[in-house]
Amino acid sequence: MAQRNPLAWLPSIRDAQQARRSTRPQPPERSMDPRADHRPHSDEGTPPVQDSVIDAAVYVDGRRQEGPVDISDVADLHRRTPGHAGGLAWIGLLRPASSQLLEVAEEFGLHALAVEDAIVAHQRPKLERYDDTLFVVLKSAHYLDAAEEVEFGEIHLFVGRHFIITVRHTDAPDLSVVRKRLEDEPDLLALGPEAVLYAILDAVVDGYAPVVAGLQNDIDEIETQVFAGDPAVSRRIYKLSREVIEFQRAAQPLLPMLRSLNEGFEKYDTDAELRRYLRDVADHATTVAERVSGFRDMLQNILTVNATLVTEAQNDEMRRVTEASYLQGEQVKKISAWAAILFAPSLITGVYGMNFTHMPELDWVLGYPWALVLMLGISVALYVVFKWRKWM
């Protein structure tokens, strides 16, 4: 990294921020975020910055120094550390108020735009350089087995020549594990803030592996549900698709970020072993990004197959209904045909059963045989007609 050149306006950064806050519109990052912001936007009643500090220490040659208890002490000790090139200040903040973060910005000379992004939060993963300080935003992910969903976190890092500041607005991920790992490897920590940045990147990318496994398991279960005809599977596909998209937004930007970091490490002649570690992280991140991209394609295909199966099931149901209607119509035709055949004899017998006095056929010798022949003839004729029309 280049030699530090402190900016002349940094001592008044808090006053400048407060003056702009009262005159300019709400930052677009906050206005676009539908989620409620519970952080205090006023300095009234704001606790001291130390209340948001999870851990703060100065390391010399990779070993933690005893003594500092607040931010100003850490900054002073960091500046007074003999052999300044071998000193590293590492401060971890959790849910700091804007005034608290501004206090840290004054102590370490952080750029106002980067500080504003860290205050607003809900940023996309990115890597930005402000003079000799890097501002890095990372998205962590954690798979919740019970709920079968992905929980996302966000880390903001300010990486200077001799300091690194981490800002989290959620409990996850727990960077204390990363700090302990580095404190157990003083030779690695002695490489400076780049080593801390690598370790955090490594922890974030390693945390993606269980998420990938969990999403793969969910997709396998969804495939089973689809071919089992589960009607609730469409809702689950949609929900999982949203999680995969959000996960892709967290993992995909890491690839250009890691390429840029690797180029910077080579430019500033960072330790060769650290560059190899960073390339290993890049390989893992590439694998994750490819898997997540494959998940999106798989879910799209599953959604298409599900829609096809639903359409086929609807067509089968319509065919069954049509067949049932056809069979019902055939039965109605048969019943109607027999009713018509039986109606003719009934009509004739009904006419001659009225017993009127003046009915010539009653005195006719052949009247009875004729009536029988007429009933039989009409019935046979109707039967032949209905049979020919395939009503019977």
- In this prediction, residue 99 carries a pLDDT of 87
Spell 104-113 as b/e; 16+ CB within 10 A means b: bbbbbbbbbe
Residues 14 and 194: their CA atoms lie apart, in Å, by: 28
- In this prediction, residue 110 carries a pLDDT of 92
- In this prediction, residue 174 carries a pLDDT of 86
Number of CB atoms found within 10 A of residue 293's CB: 14
pLDDT tens across the length of the chain (392 residues): 333 333 333 334 445 444 444 444 444 444 444 444 444 444 455 566 667 888 888 888 889 888 655 777 777 766 666 544 457 889 999 988 888 889 889 888 899 999 999 988 888 899 999 988 999 999 999 999 888 899 999 999 999 988 999 999 888 788 999 999 999 999 999 998 999 999 999 999 999 999 999 999 999 999 999 988 888 888 999 999 999 999 999 999 999 999 999 888 887 778 888 999 999 999 999 999 999 999 999 999 999 998 888 888 888 889 988 888 888 888 888 888 888 778 878 877 777 777 766 677 767 777 778 778 888 888 888 888 878 887 77
Q: Percent of the chain, pLDDT > 70?
A: 82
Helix, coil or strand: residue 350: helix
Helix, coil or strand: residue 324: helix
- In this prediction, residue 23 carries a pLDDT of 45
Residues 129 and 11: their CA atoms lie apart, in Å, by: 20
Instruction: Give the helix ranges, DSSP H, for 109-159.
Output: 112-120
| Pairing relationship of beta strands 126-130 and 87-94 according to DSSP bridges | unpaired
Where do the domains of the chain lie, and which CATH numbers do they carry?
A: 10-311 (3.30.460.20), 329-388 (1.20.58)
Total count of residues recorded for the chain: 392
- In this prediction, residue 19 carries a pLDDT of 47
Residues 164 and 201: their CA atoms lie apart, in Å, by: 13
Residues 244 and 45: their CA atoms lie apart, in Å, by: 40
- Is the distance from CB of 112 to CB of 78 less than 8 angstroms? no
- Is the distance from CB of 165 to CB of 93 less than 8 angstroms? yes
